[in-house]
Amino acid sequence: MRSDRVKKGIERAPHRSLMYATGVSKKSMERPFIGIVSSFTDLIPGHTGMRDLERFIEKGVHSGGGQSFIFSVPGVCDGISMGHVGMHYSLPTRELIADMIESVTMAHALDGLVLLTNCDKITPGMLLAAGRLNVPCIVVTAGPMMTGNYKNIRRDFITDTFEAMGQCQAGLITRDELDRLEMSACPGQGSCQGLFTANTMACVSEALGMSLPYCATALAGFAEKRRIAQESGEVICRLVREDIKPRDIMTAQAFDNAIAIDMALGGSTNTALHIPAIAHECGIRIPMERFDEISRQVPNISSLKPAGIYYMEDFHFAGGIPAAMQQLGANIHDCLTLSGLTTAQIAAQAINYNQEVIRTMDNPVKKEGGIAVLKGNLAPGGSVIKQTAVSDAMRHFSGTARVFNSEEMAMEAIMGKQIKAGDVVVIRYEGPRGGPGMREMLAPTAAIMGMGLGEKVCLITDGRFSGGTRGPCIGHISPEAAAGGPIAAVQEGDTIIIDLDSRSLHLDITDEEIARRMERVVHPEPKIKTGWLARYARQVTSADTGAVME
């Protein structure tokens, strides 16, 4: 066992003494050492219930013959950090989490890891560590939140807080109604109720084979989630005994499966950052174009929030990821999973209880999958859009550029009702380097939707979007402005042409004019010049690489 290097031999007497001091028995010293990497915090609703799940994972590890040790990593709630300086820190925590797990696992020679996670950057950070370390790992996601209820109508975080904010600003609802909505939208523990980034990454983890069947969708606080947690503790001990490691599971075909599930469900565009980054740690290259290739092959078979009408609870009760894989058929490769079953065996055992929630291939919601990759003279390295969240009327759009060098400047104009029908809101210097940290633009997009401009205005950015974003919003424009990308050359009043069918994003000026403008571009001063984010900005790459660190 890996842990033998800290517990075997005469020269390890001091090491054993310290471990005995933690309460480890002499008999338990013979067991595999299993780290339970907990991201529990009181700060994030998706993580407040993890103390309970830690107990059940511990039970499973003990039942499976292991010795468990809990250690912790931090988390940032994207919703709470949204719209202020805090959002600069969200994406970079992905790298910190991976680095922390690597540090503790290597320093203490752990034999295996249970990765207890849930929310946006924490799950990919843990998967980065799994691919990098390549020691036996299993992922337990803490589960989606149940919907809220107000006026006997189900409510969710995005529609009933962020979009309601725009509705209140536009005079469509009263301040009192906004107060009631914000009290009702999030009733308790769990990740936000739609297929936003947290739940998308949970689905990706299960589709990769890195968590047990139904783990992605089993609801927070429910007994089913406890049972999955305990079984995951037992399974990690088997994985250690059989030496089944993450790179045995996270193969090129498994990543294709994860993208196919993402496309079929209409998941968050943030997967176009996280999946390539996780694959990178496994020694596999996934270009942005792979998302578009699979999206053209795999239809959107579930109408999930924010693009659709159903919630994660509906998707789970309809059959979850196994039922979706069953419907996708040959679009899912038969791959090994940590459960001991292959993806084909899991799909064969699934039951689709509701073919309105999880549709068949011959009755899709949309004929193509969730994400489209657009290229052109404005995004030579590519850009992404959640095309399932765009109305047919907005798939082809030509508009007038309104240019802002920060989210705050754009938000001020939107809330000040300075954005009109026919505008293309351009938010730049918000990429991984320029942000720094590639902030999510949920507040501007939600405000645009809430003010009734969702089918009249486009928004493009070298930043990124929340999984809760809907409407014609194009992100991840690469190269970013701070890296010399042509989005830096856009001027107020330019015409921008967007065509989803031809996958193009075009600034309507000549290449020669773009080159002339780029020679004259004066980049703004870095927004943050000290601390961790200044180091991050110097090392991070553009979005088309997954924003990995050099």
**Active-site positions?**
466
For residue 432, say if its preceding peptide bond is cis, omega within 30 degrees of 0.
Answer: no
Strands 495-499 and 504-507: antiparallel
For residue 78, say whether it is annotated as part of any ligand binding site: yes
Phi and psi at 174, nearest 5°, equal -85, 165
- Identify the H or E element spanning 68: strand 67-72
For residue 99, say whether it is annotated as part of any ligand binding site: no
Strand partners, 284: none
- Identify the H or E element spanning 198: helix 197-208
The whole-angstrom separation of Cα 213 and Cα 115 is 16
Helix H, strand E, coil C: the string for 399-449 is: EEEEEECCHHHHHHHHHCCCCCCCEEEEECCCCCCCCCCCCECHHHHHHHH
- Identify the H or E element spanning 262: helix 252-265
Strand partners, 37: 71, 115
Strands 112-117 and 33-38: parallel
116 within 8 A of 140, measured Cβ to Cβ: yes
Cα angle for residues 101, 104, 107 (degrees, 5° grid): 140
Alpha helix ranges (H) inside 109-174: 122-133, 157, 163-169
For residue 436, say if its preceding peptide bond is cis, omega within 30 degrees of 0.
Answer: yes
Give the burial string for 235-254 (b: 16+ CB within 10 Å, else e). Answer: bbbbbbbeebbbbbbbbeeb
For residue 501, say whether it is annotated as part of any ligand binding site: no
For residue 54, say whether it is annotated as part of any ligand binding site: no
- In the annotated binding site, the residues are 78, 120-121, 440
| Residues annotated within a binding site for Mg(2+) | 78, 120-121, 440
